[in-house]
A and B are shown apart, each in its own frame.
Chain A
Amino acid sequence: MALVVLIHLAVAGILVLFRRPLGRWAFVVGALGPASTLLWAALNGSRVLSGDPATESFTWVASLDLTIAFRVDAYSLLFLLVVAGIGLPIFLYSQSYFSPSSRATNFAATMTLFAGSMVGLVAADHLLALFVFWELTTITSYLLIGYYDQKAEARSAALHAALVTGGGGLAMLGGIVLLAGEAGTYLISEITANPPVGSNVLTVAWALILLGAVTKSAQFPFHAWLPGAMAAPTPASAFLHSATMVKAGIFLVGRLGFAGVAAADWWQPAVFTIGFITMVLGGWRALRQYDLKLLLAFGTVSQLGFMFLLLGSGIPALAFGGLAILVGHALFKATLFLSVGAIDHETGTRDLRRLSGLRRSMPRLFWVTTAAALSMTAMPLTLGFAAKEAAFDGLLAESVWLIAAAATASTLTVAYTARFMFGAFGPAVPGTEPATGKRLASRSALLWAPALLAVMSVGIGLLPTLVLPIVNGAAKVVSGVAKAGKLVIWPGFVPALAWSLASLTAGLLLAWRRQLVDRTTEAVGRVAERLPSADTAYRRSIPALLRFADRSSGLLQNGSLPAYIAIILMVAVTAPTVAAIGESPVLVTPPGGSMLEWILGALIVGFAVALPFVRRRFAVVILLGGVGYGIAALYSVFGGPDLTLTQLLVETLAVALFAFVLRHLPATFSRPATARLPRLAVALAVGAFVFFAGLVVNGARSSETISDTLVADSVPEAAGSNVVNVILVDFRAFDTLGEITVLVAAALGAAGLVIPVIRDARSRT
């Protein structure tokens, strides 16, 4: 599996490096990526389906449990097939869609990279590896959506998608870390086999993970980025929004949904609510679009809501239905996107009011699109129908409300599909300038790529057994239940059929009366526009966020060194204090101390406290020296003759150095410009913190000191009786070497700073 990901990476790299010679065939070269995935699936598919997952693991940092683990089971295999099976025709389509240029070649490289990230995402078994691939899809999709970077709309749409999905990804990372902490493992296979339960941390963890999936799959209230992302070139839209990017969130809830249900009782209601709102909202908004691509985008939002609800539910029959719908949706939605791309390419518009007579001028494209559209409406004998029957069957067993909701969304689906078909292939609306196209050559990939997908869609619809083993296997992997549902061409007269026929009829009725529907949606839409929408919420939140960032960095980073130090010190004081109070530590009051300590301590404190009040520089130097000599004496009380000697030497040297430098400076300090009271407050806080931290530390020793072994080893191992010296020059000799290096560096630095300016000053006098 790692090999397949690397092939994608290599192909993308080669495309960028050999841009010129490969430019003509950029997308064909890029297609090697999905082709390698398909080849891998062909070689390993039967083995994976027989219940023997293909695993690979590369250890990176063993002590941190960081491995790059891949595990392809039937569930991953289904997504791999969707990613590569849809991806391959789209790459070949792109070859006809783009005229060769170095930008198009870069686009091909990015798309290959994206496909590779997607492969890695669905194959990863380590949650952190999954996260890395997840964010790679975010980054590459940013580049894909923003391809027309001369258009402000495309740039802003790309940023929108990146911020929403990237932000959700970060939330998910937090959730992953918490979840792995509770489960004791990062491996998805172990978490799903043995989901952790019964902890409040899990509630937060699952909420964050759900947030990641919701943003990625464009669920309410984060759905607004998906229609915006239609600013991308159509092949990218087809790839990202039918088969890959938005399916990543579905993949995640499907993979982890059963563990989520086990751990959190709010999971299922939350998934149902989010899915339902997304489903209906998307269908409704689709009915009001004039741009064919936007119509499909809102339709996708609606379908994603349905899949999210089904796969996230943690109910075996629904997961089965969801997976079947996922396959059906990928096939028909990619076909429709590619058809729109062909129409746009040939006529120069996607406005359904202007398109006219394409049924006659592009008859073959019309039939291809019709086949896919029928599958979208779940007309009998299509894959869409078989899949929806499976889902309805499961929903009916759960609750009548769920199936009623799904039937409502299905009705809207039929209505917006009709709007799509009549808009694209019917006559133009009177009063607009009609746009007509010309017959597409059958050799053009603009025609045969969608045709290929449509044929697959119809073929699987007539023979659902073609995909049944994969859907069955995938559903079994996540739910543990074999044969959780049925995927058949005709279910017989079952209750679920009544619901789908009812929604189909209602939808056809809406299609028949579409002028009336248009007028109604117009009227309702005018009212609805005044309500807050997800799009305006995003548009308002970004400037507000930037204002907040401006204000807070203006406050915290104001350029003043004393302010910075004060902030740093207060954080250093506050954070451990808060943590310590949470632990309610024991304060152990030590004995007062010996007579000598009291005398020396009083001396040191006297010198130190006098320091801020003295303004003559030389007096300051003497006081500082006094403190140093006092400390040196204190060291000798503590049994450290080496310390006393060193401190005396260093202090003498330091006083000399100070005297040398201060000779050049004015005799007295000027009055400090900073306010005295805040400084005093911070100083007292730091002092108090040190005092109490000392008391806490005093009672906190939990294990024996290692010094005993140092003392014991000193003579036998290093032949030295002064243990402190032995530590410095033998046990920790490399530390001492480092210390000497620091001193040399400091000396060189000091000399380099001072010698030139002193020489300069001398030459001037």
Chain B
Amino acid sequence: MSLITLAVAATLFAVGTYLILQRMLSRIIIGLGLMSHGANLLIMLSGTGPATPPIVDGSPSPVVADPLPQAMVLTAIVITFGITAFLLALALRSYLLTGSDAVEDDLEDKRIAHSHDRSSMDVQEMSE
């Protein structure tokens, strides 16, 4: 692990978070991409740092990289690409259908948040 790479990962998380916290789906996707880069770097940091590839060919090497984080990150990269593609399709569809790729407020949630009339009979009877 090195300090600079940890700092890079933290920065990627911070910028990613900043981009995710708004309504434009295309920007949210970018934020998500940055965050997954950061997460992959964190996983790599649990390994050895600068090293030679984990390939067993008989030649002696001072520092061989840890293969396990690499295998996990490889999987993560591919999955992230799948998610990105799916979200991009979602953004495109949203734009083509509504003219905007913004994520609107959930109307049902808003209704619940602003309703203070309880219609349940038993409860009303008790409060009387």
Contact = CB atoms under 8 A, between A and B. Distances in A.
A and B co-occur in one complex: yes
Given A593-B3, A761-B96, 14 more contacts: A155-B122, A543-B123, A561-B103, A590-B6, A604-B11, A609-B15, A611-B30, A617-B26, A650-B78, A691-B9, A711-B67, A749-B86, A753-B93, A757-B93
A749 B5 contact: no
B54 A687 contact: no
Interface stretch (A296-304, A436-444, A671-679): A671-679
Contacts of B107: 559
A566 B65 CA distance: 36
Contacts of B6: 590, 691, 694-695
B116 to A, nearest CB: 6
Nearest to B45: A694
A723 B2 contact: no
A643 B67 CA distance: 11
A724 B71 contact: yes
A36 interface: no
B8 A647 contact: no
Interface in A586-612: 589-594, 596-598, 601, 604-605, 608-609, 611-612
B37 A631 contact: yes
Secondary structure dominating the interface of A: helix
27 contacts: A152-B121, A553-B112, A558-B109, A560-B105, A569-B17, A589-B3, A604-B12, A605-B8, A605-B11, A638-B49, A639-B51, A640-B70, A654-B33, A654-B81, A654-B84, A669-B27, A679-B21, A682-B17, A688-B14, A694-B45, A698-B1, A705-B68, A710-B68, A722-B53, A728-B75, A750-B88, A757-B93
A149 to B, nearest CB: 10
Interface in B28-49: 30, 33-34, 37-38, 40-42, 44-49
Interface string A681-696: 0111011101100110
B42 A597 contact: no
A746 B83 contact: yes
B55 A723 contact: yes
A697 B43 CA distance: 11
B95 A657 contact: no
Contacts of B37: 627-628, 631
B5 A601 contact: yes
Contact of B78 (A608, A646, A669): A646
Interface of B: 1-15, 17-24, 26-27, 30, 33-34, 37-38, 40-42, 44-57, 63-68, 70-71, 73-75, 77-86, 88-93, 95-97, 101, 103, 105-110, 112-116, 118, 121-123, 125-127
B112 to A, nearest CB: 7
A736 B21 CA distance: 32
Given A714-B56, A750-B89, A542 B123 contact: yes
Interface stretch (A164-172, A262-270, A287-295, A659-667): A659-667
Contact of A542 (B11, B30, B53, B126): B126
Contact of A670 (B24, B50, B64): B24
A565 interface: yes
Report the interface size class on chain A.
35 or more
Contacts of B93: 753-754, 757
Closest 8 CB pairs of A and B: A687-B14, A593-B2, A639-B65, A750-B89, A559-B109, A746-B82, A683-B18, A559-B110
Given A159-B122, A672-B22, A674-B21, A739 B79 contact: yes
A597 B2 CA distance: 9
Interface of A: 152, 155-156, 159-160, 539, 542-543, 546-547, 550, 553-555, 557-562, 565-566, 569, 589-594, 596-598, 601, 604-605, 608-609, 611-612, 617, 620, 624, 627-628, 631, 634-635, 637-643, 646-647, 650, 653-654, 657-658, 661-662, 664-665, 669-670, 672-674, 678-680, 682-684, 686-688, 690-691, 694-695, 697-698, 705-707, 710-711, 714-715, 721-724, 727-728, 732, 735-736, 739, 742-743, 746-747, 749-751, 753-754, 757-758, 760-761
Contacts of A561: 23, 103, 105-106
Nearest to A754: B89
Contacts of A624: 30, 33-34
Given A612-B18, A711-B54, A727-B68, A597 B113 contact: no
A669 B26 contact: yes
Contacts of A547: 116
Contacts of A661: 26, 88-89, 91-92
Contacts of A543: 123, 126-127
Nearest to A679: B21
A682 B21 contact: yes
B48 to A, nearest CB: 7
Contact of B122 (A152, A634, A674, A705): A152
A723 B17 contact: no
B53 A640 contact: yes
A156 to B, nearest CB: 5
A561 B31 CA distance: 14
B111 to A, nearest CB: 8
Contacts of B73: 635, 640, 643
Given A559-B109, A665-B95, A742-B82, A724 B21 contact: no
A616 to B, nearest CB: 12
B123 A638 contact: no
Given A152-B121, A609-B11, A686 B65 contact: no
Contacts of B17: 569, 679, 682-683, 686-687
A757 B84 contact: no
A590 B118 contact: no
A553 B108 CA distance: 13
Best-buried of B47, B54, B101 by chain A (most CB within 10 Å): B54
Contact of B9 (A160, A690, A758): A690
Contacts of B67: 707, 710-711, 723-724, 727
A642 B73 CA distance: 10
Contact of B44 (A557, A590, A638, A757): A638
A152 B81 CA distance: 58
Nearest to B116: A550
Contacts of B15: 608-609, 611-612, 683
A724 B72 CA distance: 9
B49 A647 contact: no
A739 B88 contact: no
B40 to A, nearest CB: 7
A156 B122 contact: yes
B77 to A, nearest CB: 5
B62 to A, nearest CB: 11
